[in-house]
Structure 1
């Protein structure tokens, strides 16, 4: 699991200049000005992550030395400012080099050089209001995320799941676990556990690529919450993950899982997640709902209803229709939903 860093980066004119110079634009680290400032190992590290010779960069001053020493390639950075997450990136190269940092940003009058330099293996501009993070379990309304902050593992997992951040480093790691298994199956040889668990960074080089941030589900839930007239929507952290929406009902609770599309793949994903979340609700789950941007196909609707799950789909802007599962099916499934787990 990668670490997640909250990095203030847009709240004052100097930070916005840095953003313009090294996030909106890439920096050529092979030119005659900057290349001589790098040590051989730093140059090799940068070339390994960015073989094209350019990258986006950010940095931190000496006050953050100890925090920066905890970070590694593949960790996730939320770049914040003016009450929004404004960009999300994955860390590539990390090193300490005041001369190289000063060539990009100069030195801060009070805190000196931004000498803790890191490149970004991926970077995606976003506009996510702080309120979306405040609504996640474990976060507090009104937290303006002042100062560089490294989230604890539980909060890091909550942010990645809750904001729909899909890191490409993790995707590559998953591929690395599959490759020896597939090879063994093709050749009818034994699968060796040690080979499956081998550190993937020893086998291929990471390359710059796009980090994926799934926002459709968040927008869909926001519109649905407005349709329901709910003032403070809640999400529930369970051992199975973060629910998209958790609603208190008169006799129990409703769990809602939103998907960005209505194809069979997403219907099956929603069904599996709802059944996984349901036993963990603090009040007994009496309704499970899968939320889609449009009506699923009949066979997929039947799949949801077979397990007592309602289908809610968008019919027009800010308008939704609920297609209820048969009451007898829901009643027969409730004991399964409400079977308490001890994780």
Structure 2
């Protein structure tokens, strides 16, 4: 408690203007006290086994019920005995919509890189439903222009969105309360929304397939914006006021039968009926199936690099690696000479610069498919193999090379693709089972556009 008292003593009676204009010495003193409180708090949560994220979510949800925003305000002078409660935001809003939200977001991203688990949420949204199709096209296919809605966006939320989306446009979606939301239950859509955090992944499902996904950038609650963008749900009379913005959006085309098998759902008729979170093991299986990039940086390596300009960690680590029994045989058949042609860019190269790339990811092949020459192609190490592996290019059903819209995000990559791969057709794409394997890559790995 003494640590908190020291921090309060530094800042208790400052007005917002005074707090923003602290001199270097005063700011350094306040920062040091904040660091002491933060270190002590983290140690307490670790010692007591408390998940600070989850408990704060629950507390803010409780506060939002007890102290509605409209009935509360902030005082900037010496308070009376009983303080009015400050404006209530959800935990997600408080984390990411403060004036200096970029600092908060950086801290959270650091936690993400040091091993905090990414959660996966499923969003039911049938693309054949008229209302869903309309809303999807309004705010996913055509991202929302932030400046058009500045009048209904909280200034702090607007600032956070502008920091996260420098283009000024953000793909958005919303969650509406369930039919019995007023009855407390553990996995209601709103309760699940309050567990949604930046860095989590949301997948859209409908019409017996998983067809779209993205990474959560920010969450907030806004009736006015939801009503303007999507109106009111005709069946429930409720709005999609629990809103989230997505980044790294991309399409997929995975049958729900395959999703159910991957996550271990035994009911063959099970579908996603409300917004909710997958169990960790289910999430891991689905992310692996979709080759979804949530790779984290080793925390020990991060600490070693942050403490010094040189890396003091292990230079050699012992690893156990299983060899792929068929790989050498496939490679020898694919590359009988010292040179061969990359089937994607068409360049003739030394075989040491080529790989026997799996058209369909090996871990998802049957044993017979793994032994087939038709499941591999020659791809160069000069860019083509990596682009294909990461789903930035694929082979269309006519053998031509399709390019992911995400390539446009990186000028140097776009230049390479335009120069080497645009308007090319893959040789022998139609032989045997190759069309089937290329179709798998298009639906499971390729980062397609977001249009329905």
Residue 175 of structure 1, CA deviation: 8.1
User: What residue is the counterpart of 1:126 in the other structure?
Assistant: 252
Corresponding residue for 2:224? Answer: 99
Query: 2:291 matched to which residue of 1?
Result: 164
SS at match of 1:160: helix
* Distance of aligned partners of 1:127 and 1:260 in 2 relative to their CA distance in 1, 3 Å threshold: farther
- Structure 1 position 81, deviation (Å): 1.5
Match of 2:139 in 1: 22
Deviation per CA, 1:53-112: give whole Å up to 9, x if none. 110100011232111001101111111111111111111110011111111101113141
Equivalence map 1:285-304=2 (5 Å): none
Matches within 5 A, 1:251-270: none
TM-score in terms of structure 2 length = 0.42
Aligned to 2:297: 174
C-alpha displacement of 1:180: 4.9
Residue correspondence of structure 1 range 170-319 to structure 2 within 5 A: 170-171=294-295, 173-174=296-297, 178=301, 180-182=303-305, 186-187=309-310, 220=360, 243-245=363-365, 316-318=431-433
User: Structure 1 pair 315/35, CA: closer, same or farther in 2 (3 Å)?
Assistant: closer
Please list the CA deviations of residues 276-316 of structure 1 after superposition, one character each: whole Å capped at 9, or x if unmatched.
xxxxxxxxxxxxxxxxxxxxxxxxxxxxxxxxxxxxxx993
In the alignment, is residue 7 of structure 1 matched against residue 130 of structure 2? no
CA distance in 2, matches of 1:261, 1:176: 36
What's the CA shift for 1:23?
0.9
- Aligned Cα RMSD in Å? 3.5
Give the CA deviation at 1:6.
Answer: 1.2
How far did 1:11 drift?
Answer: 4.3
Name the residue aligned to 2:163. 48
Give how far 1:186 is off: 4.7
Cα distance in 1 between the residues matched to 2:366 and 2:263:
11
Q: Is 2:192–2:277's contact at 8 Å kept on the other side of the alignment?
A: yes
Unaligned ranges ≥5, structure 2 = 1-116, 179-188, 315-356, 382-428, 436-452
**Are the aligned partners of 1:62 and 1:111 in contact in 2 as well (CA < 8 Å)?**
no
Report the TM-score, using the length of structure 1 for normalisation: 0.54
Alpha carbons 2:262, 2:282 under 8 Å: kept: no
Q: Is the 8 A contact 1:65 1:116 kept in 2?
A: yes
- Which protein is bigger by CA-based radius of gyration? 2
Unaligned segments of structure 1, at least 5 residues: 192-215, 225-242, 248-253, 266-313, 321-343
Cα deviation code 1:245-270 (max 9, x no counterpart): 566xxxxxx996999866698xxxxx
Distance 1:19 1:183 in 2: 42
Give the total of aligned pairs.
215
Separation (CA, whole Å) in 2 of partners of 1:25 and 1:319: 34
More strand per residue: 1
Structure-1 separation of matches of 2:166 and 2:215: 16
